[in-house]
Chains A and B, each alone.
Chain A
Amino acid sequence: MNWPKLDLRGTGAPLIMESTSLLALAALLVLVQLPHVLYLPIWISAFGIALIGLRVYARQTPNHVRWRYIFSTPAITVIAVVGALLIRAHYGYFLGRDPSVAFLFILVSLKFAEYRRSADATLLLGLSCILLLTQYFYSQSILSALVTIPAVFALGHALAVLRDPSHASAKRPQLKLIGTLLLQGLPIALLLFVLFPRLPGPLWTLPDDSMGKTGLSDSMRPGDIGNLSLSDEVAFRVEFNGAPPAAEDRYWRGPVFARFDGYTWSPEPKTVEAYPAASIPSEVEYSVMLQPHKQNWLFALDQAVSIPNVDGSITPLGNTSVFATLTTSGQLLTREPVTRVLHYTQRSAVSSRFQSPLKPSNTELQVPDNMPRTRALAKELRAKSSSDSDYARRVLARFNQMNYRYTLQPELLGDRPVDEFMFDSLQGFCEHYSSAFTLMMRAAGIPARVVTGYLGGEMNEDYMIVRQSDAHAWTEVYLDSAWQRFDPTTAVAPSRVENGVRGALPEGDVSGFRHSASFAWTRNIGLAWDSINHNWQRMIVNYNNRSQEELFEKMGLPSLALWQITALILVIAGLWCLWMLKSPLQRQKRAASPADKVWLQMEKQLRSKGIVRDHSETPQAFINRACQLLTDGGEELRCIGRTLLSARFAAMPDESAAMKAREAGEQLKRLRLEFAKPAIN
């Protein structure tokens, strides 16, 4: 079989180019690629960075045939295709965020390997900017912004070097140039950040393939929340419109579980949207910045009386929101999983009683078979009690009086977890107590369910931090035709509400925490850092079209519709183009050298004396004419003109030309006085 002959050597031009620009670009690309190493498969990072290293290595013998083969266009194409196939194989799909970023990563490296002409460098600069931005797909925290700063400096450096590769050796002017470039960019970036039109909501939904689910899960087994309690991670931050509620009212309602199979709690599969709640006094308004947890629920203080909107506004109950719903079990659910930091405003009526329009379902009475001893105990206790609420009090009293212990490290339970907990081990965390209490109620024929969420929150300056360690589970019991909150954990460890988990746990358990509360200063640093993060989140990441409108309103600017903004930008761009096209001369003047500037100054000065230079009049001729016309100061003018002409047209370094121009400029200033006199006379 005859393969068509492919002349690889012919396709690859020599790889000769400025070493300085090559190195500057290599540094830029590596700095741009480094943050991605955290998110991309290791082989892609290694492959991409190795390609860059190879190309830098090849610069020593750029004409070697080997390199011409390796970096020829067909070879590069083959590597790109192979890379694409490997990425497809790795992820299982290609059209998605992560494979695309990975492919861009490889392509940038390949483009660099192929780099031959200065046009390639311009393209690479653009590509590296895009690649740099893609890392914000993964994280928008302060740290990820800080990580990009070296790359931004490298970008400035590459721009400076590429502008004039042959003069890259002078460090000081180059640093100055980079500094100027970046500083000039800052106000533009700031202006664009504040003024550039923001779209309501993201342009595309980011697929949720990179982050694991954090926080509460959609089912509860004994031990789940206990593990969560070890995490100092922030679940959400809250800013209150007014005073924050008291510690015992800080029950942040999350997923509600009604089904129990003997081991695991799970929610009712069907959720029903709630209707206007009874008007309850003492409403609290607050805004929540929820960290992404990849689940559908939102957190609100018991009980939510509004539904949040995506733009931060509030929908009063009774109206539907496209963004979230409130179920009859009091849960706030979003329609899409929360994949980015979500900012919503919410109103709650602080209460431990919860009126539901629906009667409790059978699920909320269901008791599994693997707890005969608990059932028997329930029956016995109920018989002793005068009423349902008396029964509930007796059960709580049992938790309180018997030797139950609140601990993060309970004994492992076997086939009958509820019985074993109630009668044998007598130790557990909040999920054990709420689970057992709920089942005790149900066994006595009283509807009950487990509610998970967070209890507590720590005030930091003007906002509250709720951490994963505040995760909690409690019970709601249907008494007197309303759901009432019972927290059996408080019966065991009353300090849980006031002092949080750490205060309530026995000392041995606390050692599991990363930060010990005894070191006040680490704690303070932690809180200060959280405050910075919070402000970053609030002011930078959450700056959206709504905040923009508010800002415009405050500044007295009219708020424009998107089409108006688009039209405005088009008009400005059009005017700019016209201006650029119509006035090449003005452009020349703007880019004038110091000598040209002084020259223009001189022309202006002479014009004010009535000596106007015709546009086609050459400089020397103009000076000669002016000298003839002047009655006084002609010689000085001739001298200045001579200096200026040589500064403008003679061969000399820029510095000496600038010096001559300055000199002439000063003479010109003195000259003004001298021939001002005859003009007045």
Chain B
Amino acid sequence: MSSVAPLPQATSPSAAQVLDALDTVLLGKREQSTLALACILARGHLLIEDVPGVGKTTLARAFGQLLGLPWTRVQFTNDLLPADVVGVSIFDSKSQEFRFQPGPVFTSLLLADEINRAPAKAQSALLEAMEERQVTVDGVTRELPNPFFVIATQNPGEQRGVFGLPESQLDRFLVGISLGYPALEQERELLAKGDTRSAVDGLQPLLDHSTLLTWMNAIDDVHMADSVLQYLHELIIASRIDGNGLSPRAALGLVRASRAYAFVNEQDHVLPDDVKAVFSSVAGHRLTGSVRAGTTAANRITDSVTAP
């Protein structure tokens, strides 16, 4: 890469270190880790779609550990109620008044496991939290901590017991990735190492809260040349050629994600390669509702647009 982004402090960790640490628990998924980190630095929510057991939860938990953020996990089931997510006011008989019992959403990193197993009502409870970064219960609006991310995992649509996420909610996830089965070598390594759970628990936080915020703010300073922006815009336009394409929100997200991706790669400017790298993960789940089907559609679009 052409030049290294000026990092806030000489002693502070680099993005590469974070990715290296992730590599130890999620073998051979460097590209997905990079996208996930870029998504979080761009203040976006992450959607991980895959069959059960390929490491979705591991990735999410590893992030929680490495970024040093308080995190909670909600297992979405088909009988999950909104109150189970956002919290509930209960009557305190001692003080003779209602007291708000915050739900698991009041955290910095919410791991929403198997989000599409819950019915629509519970899913939409997350909606306000994700977009507004606040929660309203019983007419009282409560701010969520800063930063606040949702890392949601979902099972592929063809699995049983699945409620597809509505498009409006899909649009709120900045990046959707799919992990896929590990490569042969990595799988053998995994089998040899045994359970990764303890490895995740053993991860030491690399970033403190303020460093994370500094990194997030540094995203805005990553330069995007006119020609790159033009390329990005052409991609967006190309997505609209047949039928429903990407929304302006998605386009804005693509800009942020491209910048964050460049930042993670330790560049101070966005290359067309960065845009192309994040495009399928930003566009895929929005175009088809499924990350894996979306990747094919997104690749068709990138192939049709001339790169600068």
Q: Residues on A close to B: CB < 8 A?
A: 585, 596, 615-621, 642-643, 645-646, 648-651
Contacts and interface: CB of A to CB of B under 8 A. Distances in A.
B96 interface: no
Interface in B266-288: 268-273, 275-276
B307 A619 contact: yes
A650 B269 CA distance: 5
A627 to B, nearest CB: 14
B271 A620 contact: yes
B223 interface: yes
B88 interface: no
A596 B272 CA distance: 14
Contact of B268 (A585, A618, A650): A650
B302 A616 contact: yes
- Give the top 7 A-B pairs by smallest Cβ distance, nearest first: A651-B223, A646-B2, A620-B273, A650-B269, A618-B273, A618-B272, A649-B225
A616 B303 contact: yes
Nearest to B268: A650
A645 B270 CA distance: 10
Contacts of B270: 649
Nearest to B269: A650
Contact of A646 (B269, B275, B276, B305): B269
Contacts of B268: 650-651
B273 A621 contact: yes
B109 to A, nearest CB: 31
A230 B197 CA distance: 116
A615 B2 CA distance: 23
Nearest to B305: A616
Given A618-B271, A618-B276, A619-B273, A648 B225 contact: yes
Interface of B: 1-3, 223, 225, 227-228, 268-273, 275-276, 302-308
Nearest to A642: B2
Contacts of A642: 1-2
Contacts of A648: 225, 227, 308
19 contacts: A585-B306, A616-B303, A617-B307, A618-B271, A618-B273, A619-B273, A620-B271, A620-B273, A642-B1, A646-B2, A648-B225, A648-B227, A648-B308, A649-B228, A649-B270, A650-B268, A651-B223, A651-B225, A651-B268
Given A615-B307, A649-B271, 16 more contacts: A596-B227, A616-B305, A616-B306, A618-B275, A619-B273, A621-B273, A621-B276, A646-B2, A646-B3, A649-B223, A649-B225, A649-B228, A649-B272, A650-B2, A650-B225, A650-B269
A620 B3 CA distance: 14
Contacts of B3: 646, 650
B304 A649 contact: no
A645 B268 CA distance: 12
Nearest to A647: B2
Given A642-B2, A648-B227, A649-B228, A619 B308 contact: yes
Contacts of A616: 302-307
Contacts of B273: 618-621
Given A619-B308, A642-B2, A649 B303 contact: no
Nearest to B270: A649
B84 to A, nearest CB: 44
Nearest to B272: A618
Nearest to A660: B2
A617 B303 CA distance: 8
A642 B271 CA distance: 11
A615 B306 contact: yes
